[in-house]
């Protein structure tokens, strides 16, 4: 009996294993069909894939010319290792310029006018996509920082026993959650931005850059969601915890600070991570108010390079890299707070 029984189990196992392998194969076949189908379709419309054109939008070698400031002749070129000294002699004045030896574009005896290039430095520069990526990162992280602060105070205010505090928080949260982020960005930029900048101008003070209205829109937007997450986190902590801390004589804020929030914090890390990942993606909307973040940068490159297929895939991939890095980071923090 036992032998027969175990052979049945073995048979079931083998069958399960075979099904598993078949499913994995099916997955890769579906993937290959999708990619192949896409490639076939692009070939039908004679789209030429030019991935080699893409790297220049990340980093490129820029030529910075060394220009003469005076009019005259090139008197002498002295080469010293990798650099060279070009001496220009004009009427009554002489000037020397240091130029990379392999970048010299003049010969001894040439006639030079002010502004003429004597040679050029080559320098690596960040391309427009890398700048866009950096801006997306910067905008997202500033917005996340303020979103956490708004959300923390908002979440505590949301369950305040003071109706003025509580209802203003509810109104704020419902207003933000009930209207499209795109419209909120427009309001921040075209309404509040115009008001603030005009008022500042009347006082003779400087202007606020569009970037900051974008950051404000994102921070207020995510702040409302974070407030709800924080509220749920606080309310998930058993009543006995606040009763115990209050019965020891702690004030409401001491109890929040030392007992409730540290426990709530652990529980809200996963939903917070989700919220911030969608914030990073939502920052792509800021392009509409002339902030050149990753998506806007991609669109600009598309209009000049005419390689939309590669660029939009790449753009999506870059967001994926940002969001998954962030997600891994938060998972690490979550594990750390759970272990201790």
Binding site for other proteins (CB under 8 A): 238, 240-241, 243-251, 254, 258-259, 262-263, 266
Q: Closer CB to other proteins, residue 300 or residue 334?
A: 334
Q: How far is the CB of 243 from other proteins (least distance, A)?
A: 6
Q: Closer CB to other proteins, residue 138 or residue 266?
A: 266
Integer-rounded Cα radius of gyration of the chain: 31
Q: Closer CB to other proteins, residue 184 or residue 245?
A: 245
Q: How far is the CB of 164 from other proteins (least distance, A)?
A: 19
Q: How far is the CB of 267 from other proteins (least distance, A)?
A: 11
Q: Closer CB to other proteins, residue 263 or residue 278?
A: 263
Q: Closest Cα partner for 317 from 51, 26, 12, 45?
A: 51
Q: How far is the CB of 260 from other proteins (least distance, A)?
A: 10
Q: How far is the CB of 340 from other proteins (least distance, A)?
A: 8
Q: Closer CB to other proteins, residue 18 or residue 238?
A: 238
Q: How far is the CB of 231 from other proteins (least distance, A)?
A: 19
Q: Closer CB to other proteins, residue 95 or residue 256?
A: 256
Give residues with Cβ within 8 angstroms of 250, minimum separation 6.
258, 259
Q: How far is the CB of 248 from other proteins (least distance, A)?
A: 4
**Residue that is written with structure tokens 């303020």 in the block:** 146
Q: Closer CB to other proteins, residue 97 or residue 265?
A: 265
């Amino acid at each position: 009996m036992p032998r027969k029984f175990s052979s049945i189990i073995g048979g079931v196992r083998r069958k399960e294993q075979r099904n598993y392998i078949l499913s994995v194969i099916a997955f890769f076949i579906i993937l290959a069909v999708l990619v192949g189908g896409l490639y076939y379709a692009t070939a039908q419309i004679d789209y030429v894939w030019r991935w080699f054109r893409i790297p220049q939008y990340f980093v490129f070698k820029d030529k910075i010319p060394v220009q003469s400031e005076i009019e005259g002749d090139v008197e002498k070129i002295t080469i010293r290792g990798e650099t060279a000294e070009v001496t220009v002699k004009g009427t009554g004045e002489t000037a020397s310029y240091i130029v990379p030896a392999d970048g010299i574009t003049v010969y001894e005896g040439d006639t030079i006018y002010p502004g003429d290039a004597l040679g050029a430095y080559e320098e690596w520069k960040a391309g427009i996509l890398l700048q866009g990526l950096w801006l997306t990162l910067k905008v997202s992280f500033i917005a996340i920082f303020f979103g956490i602060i708004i959300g923390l105070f908002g979440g505590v205010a949301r369950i305040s026993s003071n109706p003025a505090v509580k209802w203003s928080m509810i109104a704020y949260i419902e207003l933000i959650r009930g209207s499209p982020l795109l419209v909120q960005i427009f309001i921040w930029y075209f309404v509040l931005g115009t008001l603030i900048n005009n008022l500042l101008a009347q006082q003779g003070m400087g202007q606020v850059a569009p970037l900051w209205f974008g950051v404000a829109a994102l921070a207020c937007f995510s702040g409302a969601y974070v407030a709800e997450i924080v509220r749920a986190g606080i309310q998930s902590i058993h009543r006995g915890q606040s009763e115990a801390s209050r019965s020891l004589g702690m004030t409401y804020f001491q109890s929040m600070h030392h007992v409730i929030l540290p426990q709530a914090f652990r529980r809200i890390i996963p939903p917070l991570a989700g919220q911030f990942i969608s914030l990073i993606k939502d920052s792509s909307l800021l392009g509409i108010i002339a902030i050149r973040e990753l998506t806007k940068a991609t669109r600009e490159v598309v209009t000049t390079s005419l390689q939309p297929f590669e660029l939009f895939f790449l753009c999506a991939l870059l967001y994926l890299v940002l969001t998954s890095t962030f997600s891994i980071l938060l998972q690490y923090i979550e594990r750390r707070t759970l272990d201790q």
